[in-house]
C-alpha cells in the first residue's frame, strides 16, 4: 500500500526563532499590522510503501525521531493518508 505522510516540524516554543522574528518585523513593509509572532518550521511530505497503516506510522515516526527532527530544538507531528 502507498501512503502519504505530511510532517510538520516546529522549533520548541521556548527557543528564539530568529528567522520568524525577522519575518515578523518586516511584514509591516507590506502594510500588514497586528502581527504578534511568527514561528518558522518545516513541512515535509514523504510518499512510501508500507504493509499497513501501522507499519507506515512506525516508519514515519522513526524517520522523524532519528533524522527529520532534533528533539533538543524541535517537535514534530504528522498525518498519514493512503496515497
Partner 1 sequence: MKFGVVVFPGSNCDDDMIHVLGDVMKSEVVKVWHKDTGLPGFNTSDCIVLPGGFAYGDYLRCGALAGLSPIMSAVKDFAAKGGMVVGICNGFQVLCEAGLLPGVLLANSSQKFICKNIHLKIENNETPFTRLTSKGDVLKIPIAHAEGRYYADENILGQLEMNNQVLFRYCSPTGEVADEYNPNGASRNIAGICNEGRNVFGMMPHPERASEEILGNTDGRILFESLLNHVLESA
Residues that bind partner 1 (CB under 8 A): 15-16, 18-19, 21-22, 67-68, 70, 72-73
Can you read off the three cell numbers belonging to residue 75? Answer: 517537535
CB of 60: closest distance to partner 1 in angstroms? 15
We find the least distance from the C-beta atom of residue 34 to partner 1, in angstroms, to be 23
Nearest to 10 by CA among 19, 2, 28: 19
* Distance in Å, CB of 1 to partner 1, minimum: 27
Minimum CB distance to partner 1 smaller for 19 or for 79: 19
Closer residue to partner 1, CB minimum distance, 26 or 81: 26
Please say which residue, 36 or 66, places its beta carbon nearer to partner 1: 66
Given a contact cutoff of 8 angstroms between Cβ atoms, the answer to whether 42 and 9 are in contact is yes
Contact predicate 58/19, CB 8 Å: no
Half-sphere exposure in the Cβ direction for 47 (13 Å, CA): 2
Amino acid at each position: 500500500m502507498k501512503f502519504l505522510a505530511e510532517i510538520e516540524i516546529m522549533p520548541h516554543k521556548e527557543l528564539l526563532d530568529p528567522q520568524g522574528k525577522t519575518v515578523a518585523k518586516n511584514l509591516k513593509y507590506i502594510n500588514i499590522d497586528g502581527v504578534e509572532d511568527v514561528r518558522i518550521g518545516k513541512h515535509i511530505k514523504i510518499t512510501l510503501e508500507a504493509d499497513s497503516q501501522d507499519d507506515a506510522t512506525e516508519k514515519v515516526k522513526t524517520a522523524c525521531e532519528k533524522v527529520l527532527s532534533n528533539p533538543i530544538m524541535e517537535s514534530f507531528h504528522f498525518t498519514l493518508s493512503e496515497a
